[in-house]
Structure 1
Amino acid sequence: MSVEHFPIGQEMDVAYPNFKVSQTLLSVTQLRFEIREGLFARTETVDYGATVTNVQDYDRGLVHSFATLPDGKFLRMTGPIVVTRPADRVPDDRPERATRRWCSGR
């Protein structure tokens, strides 16, 4: 969506599994959200900029990244993981196996 067609003033409710949030698009640079109940309850106005979401696939050694730039351009990228320092502790053996495999270059 281009900045010229950005839906300023749009309000929406989103129901996530553990909470609900109401959002208002205040401008092309600001969003207000309100969580009325629960552990995350609060109201906040935030500035947008670039946003990035990463999905780390340790079994395949890949990171899938999705980014929205301030100009509205959306990027989808995939690249290999190179672990340069393993975690100090690992909660179970699954990530440890993946980390060990990618650290060793296999």
Structure 2
Amino acid sequence: MSRHDLTPLDPDTVSCVIVGWDRPLGSFFTHVYLTDDDNEFDAPTFEIGTDFREVTDPAAAIDLASMYAKVPDDMSATLANDAAREGTCEAPAVLSILSAAATPTTNTDGWPCPF
């Protein structure tokens, strides 16, 4: 997983903006934390890329981030390089298929945890 902290455009309203690549989900992500969000679990106020292969183009993650933070010109290339270097994990797809089956035919007990 990669993580890049960006500089908020307005630090009075935005406390943190993060973009990156999540290998197990095979998705780029953006998390935006606003200063007035009193979320007791410290969850992002806005986020994308938290579902399996939800964001496959770094431009989508950058579009959200650019509304709240200064995004370096080379961020798209940086995120694409992160994804190419780290690759993807196919286990979530297998597990999703297995959970949809009434009686799984494959025993996954001995499989190593991919992340």
Structure with the bigger RCO (C-alpha within 8 Å, sep 6+) is 2
Which protein is richer in helix relative to its size? 2
Give the TM-score of the pair, scaled to structure 2. 0.26
Structure index of larger Rg: 1
Which protein is richer in strand relative to its size? 1
Give the TM-score of the pair, scaled to structure 1. 0.28
